[in-house]
């Protein structure tokens, strides 16, 4: 882990930090213009997250799928691919885990719980494998195919729920307790939040990403192909196979994210008429986290905190919760313009020398 931190050079670290500060500042300006008190607003976010166990728990809970989605995007990115299909992979994983839990409900917990989690990962893997195959064999660009796969997931999950797993309230039945990640202990600890054991899965996934990429021969290959497909091919690596593998592993992370929602937070899946948004937020999380495992955790925490704390901001400072989405969008905007920030910093330090 120490090595991980060392790899980041300070200059690149500046961009996300400055982006977050600028995003928050711009958010404050907007609040001022509309007539709210930004200090009160931010204060209520910070206080709720750090001083009210319920919001702390909810923040960590919201982090779980965000981090997994972020890892999915970051993993693919590290190997030179844009996985825009995390959303679809996540939905596929969500439904698969819930379906597995319900269908095999009679099995004991030691088997059923891991099996359901794995089912989620496997469904995500499949949803990543298909665009990988399309790219490797037919050169279909993964951005296009993963977006298409998102829609396929959206409508297929709805269809399956409607026809096979339907219950009152436009959703699947609740999963049996044996497959649930929810924990009365954690809930009590956090004054009734929905915090569940899924955070352990997220931690394992964070370590796994780092381990796979930097400690295994496959990871070496994936990174080499990501940086330079030409040189990798000259060195005897199979570029197509690595593309497929990369998107498949990426899909596993996303699918696990969905399983955490299905088995942990909600205990069922509703018929979605629109996307959950977690997968897309995952892109932002990865971007802000510089596509590193640790970075994904940090930026996942930030986004989850803003979203959860945003609720108290509304009740305490009267600021509409939508403003949080604007702030998040602003942060992403600034990260995206990282080049400009670097350039400006360069200019400033240079002027300083003279």
Partner 1 sequence: MSYAIEMRHIRKEFPGIVANDDITLQVEEGEIHALFGENGAGKSTLMNVLFGLYQPDKGEIYVHGEKAVINDPNDATRLGIGMVHQHFMLIDKFTVAENIILGREPKKHGMLDMAKAVKIVKELSEKYGLDVDPNQKIEDITVGMQQRVEILKTLYRGSDILIFDEPTAVLTPIEIQELIAIMKRLVKEGKSIILITHKLKEIFECCDRCTVIRRGKNIDSMAISETNPTDLASMMVGRKVHVQINDAPYEPKEKVLEVSHLSVLDQRKVSVVNDLNLTVHGGEILGIAGVDGNGQTELIEAIAGLRKVKDGSIKVDGQDLTNQRTRKIIEAGLGYIPEDRQKHGLVLDFSVGENMVLQTYYKKPYAQSGFLKNKVITKKAKQLIQEFDVRTPSEKTLARSLSGGNQQKVIVAREVDRSPKLLIAAQPTRGLDIGAIEFIHGKLIEEKKKGKAVLLISFELDEILHLSDRIAVIYEGRIIDIVNPKETNENELGLLMAGRRKGGAEA
Cβ at position 231, least distance to partner 1 in Å: 5
63: phi then psi, degrees, rounded to nearest 5: -65, -35
Nearest to 205 by CA among 244, 277, 242, 255: 255
- The token duo for 314 is 């509304």
Residues within the interface to partner 1 (CB under 8 A): 214-221, 223-224, 227-228, 230-238, 350, 353
Residue closer to partner 1 (CB basis): 10 or 138: 10
71: phi then psi, degrees, rounded to nearest 5: -60, -40
Cβ at position 176, least distance to partner 1 in Å: 37
Nearest to 83 by CA among 272, 255, 198: 255
Say how many C-beta atoms besides its own lie within 10 A of residue 15's C-beta. Answer: 21
167: phi then psi, degrees, rounded to nearest 5: -145, 170
Residue closer to partner 1 (CB basis): 171 or 218: 218
- The token duo for 33 is 């213009």
Cβ at position 220, least distance to partner 1 in Å: 5
Residue closer to partner 1 (CB basis): 167 or 228: 228
Burial of 34 (C-beta count, 10 Å sphere; 0-12/13-18/19+): exposed
Residue closer to partner 1 (CB basis): 218 or 342: 218
Q: Which positions ≥6 away from 194 have C-beta within 8 Å?
A: 57, 58, 61, 182, 187, 264, 265
Cβ at position 353, least distance to partner 1 in Å: 7
Cβ at position 341, least distance to partner 1 in Å: 17
Which of helix, strand or coil describes residue 300?
Answer: helix
Cβ at position 202, least distance to partner 1 in Å: 23
The DSSP bridge partners found for residue 182 are 196
- State the sign of the Cα–Cα–Cα–Cα dihedral 258, 260, 266, 268: positive
Please give the C-alpha separations between residue 328 and each of 140, 207, 278, in angstroms, as whole numbers.
31, 26, 13
Residue closer to partner 1 (CB basis): 106 or 353: 353
- The token duo for 333 is 């905007």
Cβ at position 149, least distance to partner 1 in Å: 29
Length of the chain: 354
Residue closer to partner 1 (CB basis): 217 or 274: 217
Residue closer to partner 1 (CB basis): 191 or 228: 228
Residue closer to partner 1 (CB basis): 20 or 224: 224
What DSSP designation does 179 have? Answer: G
């Amino acid at each position: 882990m120490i090595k991980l931190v060392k790899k980041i050079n300070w200059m690149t670290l500046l961009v996300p930090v400055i982006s977050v500060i600028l995003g928050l500042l711009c958010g404050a300006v907007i609040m001022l213009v509309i007539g709210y008190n930004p200090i009160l607003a931010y204060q209520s976010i910070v206080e709720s997250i750090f001083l009210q166990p319920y919001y702390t728990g909810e923040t960590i809970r919201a982090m779980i799928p965000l981090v997994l989605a972020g890892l999915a995007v970051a993993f693919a990115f590290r190997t030179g691919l844009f996985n825009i299909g995390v959303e679809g992979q996540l939905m596929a994983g969500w439904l698969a885990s819930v379906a597995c839990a319900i269908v095999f409900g009679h099995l004991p917990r030691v088997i059923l719980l891991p099996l359901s989690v794995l089912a989620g990962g496997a469904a995500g893997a499949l949803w990543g494998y298909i665009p990988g195959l399309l790219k490797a064999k037919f050169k279909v660009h993964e951005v296009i195919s993963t977006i298409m796969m998102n829609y396929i997931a959206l409508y297929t999950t709805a269809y399956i729920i409607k026809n096979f797993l339907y219950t009152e309230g436009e959703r699947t039945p609740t999963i049996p307790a044996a497959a649930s990640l929810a924990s009365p202990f954690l809930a009590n600890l956090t004054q009734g939040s929905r915090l569940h054991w899924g955070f352990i899965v997220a931690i394992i996934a964070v370590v796994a990403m780092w381990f796979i990429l930097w400690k295994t021969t496959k990871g070496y290959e994936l990174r080499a192909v990501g940086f330079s497909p030409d040189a990798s091919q000259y060195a005897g690596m199979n570029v197509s196979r690595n593309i497929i593998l990369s998107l498949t592993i990426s899909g596993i992370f996303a699918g696990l994210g969905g399983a955490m929602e299905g088995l942990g937070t909600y205990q069922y899946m509703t018929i979605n008429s629109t996307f959950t948004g977690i997968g897309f937020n995952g892109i932002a999380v990865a971007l802000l986290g510089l596509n590193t495992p640790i970075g994904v955790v940090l930026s996942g925490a930030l986004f989850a905190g803003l979203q959860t704390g945003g609720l108290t901001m509304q009740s305490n400072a009267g600021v509409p919760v939508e403003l949080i989405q604007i702030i998040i969008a602003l942060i992403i905007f600034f990260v995206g313009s990282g080049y400009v920030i670097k350039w400006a910093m360069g200019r400033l330090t240079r002027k300083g020398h003279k």
